[in-house]
Amino acid sequence: MMMAAVDAAVSVRGVSKVYAGNVQALNNMTLDFPRGQLTSLLGPSGCGKTTLLKIIAGLLEPTSGEILVNGRPVAGPGRDRAFVFQDFALMPWASVIRNVAFGLELRGVPLSEREGVAEKYIKAVGLAGFERKFPHQLSGGMRQRVGLARALAVNADVLLMDEPFSAVDEQNRRKFQEDMLALVADEKKTFIFVTHSIEEAVYISDRIAVLLPRPSRVSEVIEPKIDRHVSPDAMRRDPGYLDTVERIWASLRSYVE
Amino acid sequence: MRIAGYNIPMMASLLIWAVAWEVIGRAGVSFILPPLSAVLVKMVEIVPQANFLIALGITARCFLWGVGLAIVIGVPLGVLMGRSVILDRLVLPWVNMFISAPLSALVPVLMVLFGFGEETVIITTFLFAVWIIILNARAGVMQISPSLVEMARSFGATGWQAFSSIYVWAALPEILAGVRIGVIRGVKGVIVGQLLVSVVGFGKLFEIYSSNFLMLHFWALLLVLFFFAFLFAEGLAWAERKVEYYAANRA
C-alpha cells in the first residue's frame, strides 16, 4: 500500500456495502485514518458516509472488504472504538453520570471507580455540576456533551462521531466545535467525524475525505492549511479556511439537487 | 366541573347514584335491590366473618399467583417478541387469538385439566391477564429508538445486559400500562374463575348468597370486590404517572 508509511489507526480496505433490494451504499472504498488526527467524512446525503462510519463501528457488516483497527480486522463492536450518536442516544431514565459511566457499567467496573472516571469527563466536556440531572433537563447541546463524555469515558483509541452537532442549535454548535478542537488536542485520540456541513468540516478537521454519491467514492482528501493557534473568530476569517470551504463547495455543488 | 357558579368535585356523581340506589331500594321496587344503607351495614357485618376472610385469602392468593405469573412470563416474552422476528411470528397469532377469545368458555376445560381447586382459578387469572401484558411489552420494545439499541451494542452490551438495562427500561411506560390493564383483567379472571368453579372462595359465597336469595350479602360482597379492583387500578395508574415524565422525554 502506498499509504503504508502513515500510521493509520483505522484502515478501510476495499469495503462495499449493498443493502437489501440491491441498493449500493458503498462501492469498493479504501481510506486510511491517521492516528491522533480528526478526519471528517464529508459529502451530500446518499454518499454512504454514515454507512461507512457504522461499518467501522462494527454496527453494520460490510458486504465485502475489511476494516483494520490498529492493524486488527474488525468483527463487530469493540473496546478500541466508541460511538457518538446523532440523536445522542442517552438513556432518559438515567442521570447524566450514569449515562456517562454506562460503557464502564457494561464492563463491570465498580460503581465508585466508574463514577470517578465519569466525573472527570463530565468536567472535561463542561458539564460539571450537572452530574445528577436527567437528560430531559438538559438542552440539545448539553445532551450531546453527555454523549461525548460517555464515548470518552471508555478510553477507546478511536472516536466515531455521526453528525454529532446536527441536532444542536446554531450558537451551541459553534461553541461545541470550539470545545471539540481543545478536546482533540488534549485527548490524543483518533476522531472520525461524519458531517454534511462544509464549514464544520473545515473548521475542526485535520483531514477531510470528500465523498461523492452514485457510485459512492472518495473524491479527494483535503488537509486544510489553517493556523489553529489563533482565536476561533480569527480562524473563521482565515483565508486558508475560506478558500478550503470554497474549494469543497465548488466540487460538491453539482451533486446537490 | 362548575354548575351555577359552584365547583362540583369529581366524585359528586357517585353521590347522586348512591342516593338514587337508596331511594329505589327503600321504595321496594324489587327484592333484588335492597337499599344501599342496608347493604353497607351488611358489608360491615360480613367482612370480619371467618368464611369471608377465608374467601378473601383464597382470592388474594390466586390473584397474586395468577397476575404474578402473567407479569413474570408476559413481560420477558413480550420484550423478546419485540426484538426477535422469528419468535414474534411464532407466538403473535396465539396472543392475538387469546386476547379476543371468550376465556370464560375455556374454564370448564381447565377444570377438567386442573381440578376444582385453586389451580384452575390461578390459571384462569393468568389467562385473563397475560396477553395484554405481552402485547404491551412487545409494542413498547418495538418503539425503542434504533440508536439506543445501537448504543448498547457499540458499548459492548451482552444480550442480557441489553435486555435488563435498555429494553425493559425503555419500554417501561408501555409495560406498566400493560400491567395495569392486565391487573384489571386479572381481577375479572380471579372472580370469573371462582364463580365457574364455584366451590372455592368467593365463588362459593356467591353461590350460597345467590341461590339463597341473600341479596344484602350478595351486594355487599360485590361492592367489596369492586372496591378492591378500583384500588388496584388506581394504585398502578399512580405508578404509571411516576414514570410518565420520561415517556414524554425519551425521543
Query: Sheet containing A81-84: which strands, arranged edge to edge?
Result: A81-84, A158-162, A190-195, A38-42, A207-212, A217-222
Please list every residue in chain B whose beta carbon sits closer than 8 Å to the beta carbon of residue A103.
155-156
- CB A107, CB A195: distance < 8 Å: no
Cell numbers at residue B103, please? 376465556
User: Chain A: nearest CA to B148, how far in angstroms?
Assistant: 5
CA atoms within 13 A on the CB side of B52: 16
Record: contact B147-A58, CB cut-off 8 A: no
Q: Which of B131, B125, B132 is nearest to B59 (CA)?
A: B125
Chain A environment of B145 (Cβ under 8 Å)? 87, 89
What does the pLDDT read at residue A1? Answer: 43
Is the CB of B147 less than 8 angstroms away from the CB of A86?
A: yes
The residue ranges of every structural domain in chain B are 1-33, 43-247
Q: What pLDDT tens digit does each residue of chain B (251 aa) get?
A: 677 777 777 777 888 888 998 999 888 888 788 888 888 998 888 888 888 888 888 888 999 999 999 999 999 999 999 999 999 999 999 999 998 888 888 888 888 888 888 889 999 999 999 999 999 999 999 999 899 999 999 999 998 999 999 999 999 888 988 998 998 899 889 888 888 887 888 888 888 888 888 888 888 888 888 888 888 888 888 877 877 655 555 54
Of B150, B169, B245, the CB nearest to A91: B169
Q: Locate the chain A residue with the closest alpha carbon to B162.
A: A106
Domains contained in chain A, CATH given: 1-75+186-216 (3.40.50.300)
What are the chain B neighbours of A156 within 8 Å (beta carbons)?
none
Using a CB-CB cut-off of 8 Å, the residues of chain A touching B151 are 83, 85, 89
Query: Taking CB atoms and an 8 Å limit, are B151 and A89 in contact across chains?
Result: yes
Q: Which residues of B touch A78 (CB under 8 A)?
A: 156
ipTM rounded to 2 decimals = 0.87
Q: For residue range A111-136, what is the model confidence (pLDDT) as tens digits?
A: 999 999 999 999 999 999 999 999 98
Determine the pLDDT at residue B79.
94
Q: What is the DSSP string of A30-66?
A: EEEEETT-EEEEE--TTSSHHHHHHHHHTSS--SEEE
Q: Is B148 on the interface with A (CB under 8 A)?
A: yes
Amino acid at B107: V
Contact A107 B156 (CB under 8 A): yes
Rounded to whole angstroms, how far apart are CA atoms B203 and A183?
71
CB contact (8 A) between residue B170 and residue A102: no
Flag whether the pTM goes above 0.90. no
The domain made up of B43-247 has a fold known as MetI-like fold (1.10.3720)
The cell numbers describing B107, all together, are 374454564
Residue A63 phi/psi, 5-degree rounding, is -70, -40
Contact predicate A42/A198, CB 8 Å: yes
Neighbours of B212 (CB within 10 A): 10
Q: Which of chain B's residues have a Cβ under 8 Å away from the Cβ of A102?
A: 155, 165
CB contact under 8 A, A59 and B154: yes
* Sheet containing A72-73: order of strands: A23-34, A8-19, A64-69, A72-73
> What is the interface size between A and B, counted as CB pairs within 8 Å?
62
Cα(B79)–Cα(B223) distance, rounded to whole angstroms?
A: 37
> What pLDDT is attached to residue B248?
53
> Residue A4: is its pLDDT beyond 70?
no
